């Protein structure tokens, strides 16, 4: 890819609808979208989808009453400002996602709940005939992820993983450079993600009015309510619901790793250290340093710090960050530096999802990619928690030689929930 081709491709990634130039289609040609989980990240996704004239946000679901009411009001206000406001439906609100999924007029759902709910809701949505956009990480269980992958493959439903950096021009450009051999033969990769945090009060508290805590817990173990468990950033750092920032933030640079590799693969060996807090509510792995090896000899380190993926080759290196790209030789990144801040990565990613539903594109972040990046964070977590080298069989898709570690690939669901 030369500079001229790169700039042309970057322009193609910014659709007219993202820039507000697209005419509003009639209601019969709009995709109806429902949002399940509209907290911090879910609210951001509402913003992204509102930019597209050919879809309509028709329903929101959240276990916090104030959140669903606030998001519904915001969406209604947005549509009220349009010249054809009368053609838009008022947003419906739900506490139980199953009620939303029963609606035949909803084409797609956007899932931005706590991590432990992603796969159960995804599977229910797929079986209800909906396309699904699911936030990262995919889930705290590798076996749950495999189940979701199998169902997506069997049904052919449209799935998009919420790694919105795939909609960023410089990320695409950097990965194409690596795959094309611009830095020579790939020798090693360094993946860096922010660490988690300790703390969190464990003293039980009354459940706030307007919050369905039973539904929020869902398939996770029953625990006493505290604000630090359910309000941000609580569930990001509690092992009942996630693997922490290993996956919660690691999903971003690990996805770049997956995109930049010359072929789809995951490491077959994992060994490392990390800190699991012993006090407080938050108990996911922090300060990790995991060393991995692929079957072909490629090595990868996964550590804490900023947010980057660095590819080292025989003829140079290339580092991809959220808002920039760096390289040696510097000429590799020169063109990308001119367009590294389009500010539309989320809109590009949601645009690709909507186009995929219409059959005009394929999802740029499909289920197989989601499973592979989640697999790395999940196996890294197991390596740190056991303190042992973990060996992965990519054909049988299981941990070999360590029965205890292999059992950690799955998590039981609290009844009556099941996959």
Q: Chunk the chain into consecutive blocks of 10 residues (it has 419) and report each block's average pLDDT, rounded to whole numbers.
A: 48 45 74 97 95 96 98 96 90 98 98 98 98 97 98 98 92 93 96 96 96 98 96 92 97 98 96 97 98 98 97 97 92 70 69 96 97 98 98 97 98 95
pLDDT at 23: 61
Burial class (CB in 10 A: 0-12, 13-18, 19+), 337: middle
CATH code assigned to 3-165: 3.40.50.720
pLDDT at 255: 98
- For domain 184-339+367-407, give the CATH superfamily: Dihydrodipicolinate Reductase; domain 2 (3.30.360.10)
pTM score of the predicted model: 0.92
pLDDT at 169: 87
pLDDT at 134: 98
Q: Enumerate the domain spans of the chain.
A: 3-165, 184-339+367-407
């Amino acid at each position: 890819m030369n500079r001229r081709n790169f700039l042309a491709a970057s322009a193609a990634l910014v659709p007219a609808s993202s820039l507000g130039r697209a005419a509003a289609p009639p209601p019969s040609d709009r995709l109806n979208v429902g949002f399940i989980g509209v907290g911090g990240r879910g609210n951001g996704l509402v913003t992204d989808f509102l930019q597209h004239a050919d879809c309509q946000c028709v329903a929101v679901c959240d276990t916090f009453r104030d959140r669903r009411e606030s998001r519904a009001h915001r969406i209604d206000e947005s549509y009220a400002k349009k010249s054809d406001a009368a053609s838009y439906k008022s947003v419906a609100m739900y506490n139980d996602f199953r009620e939303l999924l029963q609606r035949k007029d909803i084409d797609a759902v956007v899932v931005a709940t706590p991590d432990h709910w992603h796969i159960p809701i995804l599977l229910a949505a797929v079986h209800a005939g909906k396309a699904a956009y699911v936030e990262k990480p995919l889930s705290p269980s590798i076996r749950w992820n495999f189940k979701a992958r199998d169902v997506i493959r069997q049904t052919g439903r449209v799935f998009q993983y919420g790694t919105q950096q795939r909609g960023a021009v410089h990320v695409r450009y950097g990965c194409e450079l690596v795959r094309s051999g611009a830095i020579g033969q790939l020798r090693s990769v360094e993946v860096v993600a922010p660490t988690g945090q300790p703390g969190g009060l464990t003293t039980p508290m009354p459940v706030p009015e307007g919050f369905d805590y039973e539904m929020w817990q869902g398939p996770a173990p029953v625990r006493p309510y505290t604000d630090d468990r359910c309000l941000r950033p609580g569930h990001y750092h509690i092992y009942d619901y996630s693997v922490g920032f290993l996956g919660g933030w690691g999903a971003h640079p690990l996805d770049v790793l997956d995109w930049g590799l010359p072929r789809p693969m995951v490491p077959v060996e994992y060994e490392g250290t990390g800190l699991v807090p012993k006090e407080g509510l938050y108990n996911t792995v922090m300060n990790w340093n995991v060393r991995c090896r692929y079957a072909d000899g490629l090595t990868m380190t996964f550590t804490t710090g900023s947010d980057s993926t660095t590819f080292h080759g025989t003829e140079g290196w290339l580092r991809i960050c959220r808002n920039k790209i760096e390289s040696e030789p510097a000429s590799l990144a020169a063109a990308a530096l001119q367009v590294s801040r389009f500010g539309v990565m989320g809109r590009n990613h949601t645009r690709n999802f909507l186009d995929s539903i219409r059959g005009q594109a394929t999802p740029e972040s499909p289920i197989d990619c989601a499973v592979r990046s989640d697999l790395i964070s999940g196996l890294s977590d197991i390596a740190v928690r056991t303190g042992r080298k973990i060996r992965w069989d990519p054909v049988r898709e299981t941990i070999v030689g360590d029965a205890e570690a292999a059992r950690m690939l799955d998590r039981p669901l609290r009844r009556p929930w099941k996959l």
